[in-house]
């Protein structure tokens, strides 16, 4: 997904995850490396960090 779609999809889906659950975002958009942690700070969610997903760029977010 290209910018801003990874963050938009994360925002749409985070409410479906139980508190404490983790969402893995797969995004080959270079801006996601900055945008996803920034979104987490603004929305009070926990950015767990980059994740290993069989070589695909991935980012884990824990719902707070």
Say which of 3, 17, 48, 51 is annotated catalytic: 3
Count Cα neighbours of 63 within 13 Å in the Cβ-side half-sphere: 15
Q: Establish whether 40 is a catalytic residue.
A: no
Asked whether 24 and 59 are in contact (CB, 8 A), the reply is yes
Roughly what angle, to the nearest 10 degrees, separates helices 32-43 and 5-13? 40
Q: Looking at the annotation, which residues are catalytic? A: 3
């Amino acid at each position: 997904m290209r910018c801003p779609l990874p963050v938009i999809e994360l925002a749409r889906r985070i409410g479906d995850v139980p508190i404490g659950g983790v969402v893995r975002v797969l995004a080959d958009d270079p801006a996601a490396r900055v945008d996803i942690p920034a979104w987490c700070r603004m929305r009070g969610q926990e950015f767990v960090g980059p994740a290993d997903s069989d070589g695909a760029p991935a980012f884990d977010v824990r719902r707070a």
